[in-house]
Amino acid sequence: MTQPSTDSPSEDTAKIVDLMRKDRTVMVGTVLTDGSIQSRPMSVQTVEDDGTLWFFAHDDGPLAEQLTSHPQVNVAFADSDHWVSLAGTARLEHSSAKIDELWDSTTDAFFPDGKETPGLTLIEVSPDSAEYWDQPGGGVGALYNFVKAKVTGGTYDGGTSGSTEL
């Protein structure tokens, strides 16, 4: 893998946001009261330009309880050609205007009572920092670079990476 990006923070932020917008299902890691970490798959509703993430959830479940007692989270994005790990702070948001803004037809699959679902809430994750790895060409590109390094005696180039405070 090449050295971490030396791009300006705004360039890294734009790259990270672009990569995050390619994925809908992510793993959200929360801290339990005993200090252990639990991760669960969730669907990202939207990724804002500054990296803020929005999710729909229930405000009466274990996730809401975990976020209330320990709001720090990790959100992991993964695909065949890129990965993003975002550290942030989560909060519950009950604004009906924001629910209306973010609601779409796919959300009905998770909340069959629609916007009237009892306990429906949003989770807003404000990003603190993020790290990304980008491998153009996915597995095929990685394999090509690996074979190239072995044949030429060069160093494996696994794509680019970078990190930034958001």
**pLDDT value at residue 40:** 97
**pLDDT value at residue 41:** 97
The secondary element (H helix, E strand) that includes residue 63 is helix 62-69
**pLDDT value at residue 80:** 80
Calpha distance 45→58 (Å, rounded)? 14
- DSSP letter at 108 equals G
**pLDDT value at residue 165:** 74
Tokens at 157, concatenated: 């180039």
Instruction: Produce one character per residue of 5-19: b if its CB has 16 or more CB atoms within 10 Å, e if not.
Output: beeeeeebbebbbeb
The pTM of the full predicted model, rounded to 2 decimals, is: 0.80
**pLDDT value at residue 81:** 85
CB 128 within 8 A of CB 89: yes
Residue-wise pLDDT tens for the chain (166 aa)? 444 444 444 788 899 999 999 999 999 999 999 999 999 999 999 999 999 999 999 999 999 999 999 999 999 999 988 899 999 999 999 999 999 999 999 998 899 899 999 999 999 999 999 999 887 654 434 444 444 445 656 554 455 655 667 6
The full DSSP string for the chain is -PPBP---HHHHHHHHHHHHTT-SEEEEEEE-TTS-EEEEEEE--EE-TTS-EEEEEETTSHHHHHHHH--EEEEEEE-SSEEEEEEEEEEEE--HHHHHHH--GGGGGT-TTGGG-TTEEEEEEEEEEEEEEE-TTHHHHHHHHHHHHHHHT------EEEEEE-
